[in-house]
Structure 1
Amino acid sequence: MNIVYRILWLFIGLNGAMFVGFSAYASHARRFIDYPQLLTIFESASNQHAIHLLALLVLASISLFFRSRWLLMSAGFFTVGIVLFSFTLYLFSLTGVKIAGFLTPVGGVCFMLGWLSLIGIAWGEKQSTERLNE
């Protein structure tokens, strides 16, 4: 397993633990009782974090058997999306730091690009098959 995939597995493991920790903290945070709108923001971050962390887990598992630059590209976009979308919303909802205002949408775009990158697997496989049949 090369260094890129090792880093990906490290990111998945650390983020799984962080997700559980953030969720546990949110269930007891006084801040969310006082400001329920911040809980909504936190839940949005948490939902996207969970969905894309599971997607990363699936991509990393597939990559053990099938190597593709499209899989790696998708995983990269999901990773950046988690950092820019979920983490900036966590930061805002927990501390009030408003850096999320301009970074969060970039993270959302990264999530979309990650899903769109998966199209390349189908397109790439078709071209590979065509070359084999020639």
Structure 2
Amino acid sequence: MNRGLFLFASVSGFLAVALGAFGAHGLKNLVSAEMVSVFKLGVEYQFYHTFAVIAVALAWQYVPSRLLGWAAGFFIAGMALFSGSLYAMVLTGAKWWGPITPMGGTCFLLGWLLLGAAVWRHRVIGGN
């Protein structure tokens, strides 16, 4: 298990719950329903990728690979760029955050590819 990644995931999960509660209860009087939906999308993807980081942290002892480190890095960058840009756009009203969101999505995709590559490479090389 990778302790640092597991700790990161626990903080990210905590923040996702807190932000989700804020989005469900605190935002509806501040922004439009559409912007509440955008905020919730950021929370949703943060949760998905918090679980992905947990999976990488747990896989570390079975699939020791630099590719796992890169996968986790891309998942974390994706959370910052994708979810972070959505949160910032909703909370500030600044639409210029919008073009940053796809960069986060690209990081998520790369993270999943690298996670798969780490497992595939371990299977092929390690024979398990």
In the superposition, the TM-score normalised over structure 2's length comes to 0.84
Give the partner amino acid of 2:22.
Y
Distance 2:5 2:115 in 1: 17
1:19 to 16, 20, 35: 16
C-alpha change, 1:91 and 1:118, in structure 2 (3 Å) is: same
- Note the alpha carbon deviations across 1:43-76, whole angstroms, 9 max, x for none: 2111111111111111111214431112111111
Percent identity (aligned)? 34
2:111 maps to 1:119: no
Structure with greater Cα Rg: 1
C-alpha separation between the residues in 1 aligned to 2:56 and 2:91?
A: 30
Higher relative contact order (CA 8 A, sep 6+): 2
State the match for 2:48 in structure 1. 51
**Partner SS state of residue 77, structure 1:** helix
Unaligned runs of 5+ in 2: none
> What's the Cα RMSD here?
2.2
Q: How many residues are paired up? A: 127
TM-score by length of 1: 0.81
